[in-house]
Amino acid sequence: MTQRVVVVGAESTGTTTLTTALAEIYRQRGDVFSATQWVREFGRDMSFIKLERLRASESNATMDDLIWTDEDFVDIAREQNRLEDEAAAISGPLLFCDTDSWATVIWQERYMGRRTPEVEALAQHAPRALYILTTDEGVAFEADEVRDGEHLREGMTERFRECLAAQSVPFIELDGRDFDRRVQLAVAAIDERLGL
């Protein structure tokens, strides 16, 4: 059974960079690890899709102009689960996920001010072996078309921390002051947790 390691964090805290680096490190171990996969964050894809659709009628639209619905978060969680399952079917013993449907619940809180039972149910999709929380400390904010939360990073990091502490899957927290050290600590935690 493929063990799922999920990297979560506020906007622009290095989740994608860390996720892809970890997948490559384990892939380079060879043997059963040579098929190690990683899963992208579908919520980010959805943000670009919604922005592109809005710009078809309002060419100067920004993220601030988007209207999110609870159904959007159901769609995001459902697609994130599908992408994970697809990757798990071809991955080696580890699958690295740049967020998951559990984190979608927290993003729904951020954008909608509430959680819904549908998204919470989707968040129970598959067991996780380890969560890695990337904090905003030591990571410069990199703006792009869909990131709008620089001023919210500290609060979102704290919310992730609270929610991770309240659930049963083990987690580690990594700041970004030294990327190589961040990677080393993540690998050590994964190897220890999964007995590799």
Cα 168 from Cα 77, distance rounded (Å): 20
Cα 43 from Cα 40, distance rounded (Å): 9
pLDDT at 141: 72
| Residue 149 pLDDT class (50, 70, 90 cuts) | low
What CATH number does the domain containing 144 carry?
3.40.50.300
For the chain, what is the domain count? 1
Residue 61 lies in a domain: no
Q: Strand ranges (DSSP E) for the chain?
A: 3-9, 37-39, 94-98, 130-134, 171-174
Domain range for 171 = 3-41+70-194
Q: Rounded to two decimals, what is the model's pTM?
A: 0.94
pLDDT of 6 > 80? The answer is yes
pLDDT single digits (tens) 11-30: 889 999 999 999 999 999 99
Mean pLDDT, the chain, rounded, equals 93
| Residue 93 pLDDT class (50, 70, 90 cuts) | very high
Lowest mean pLDDT of 52-61, 77-86, 96-105, name the range. 52-61
Residue 64 lies in a domain: no
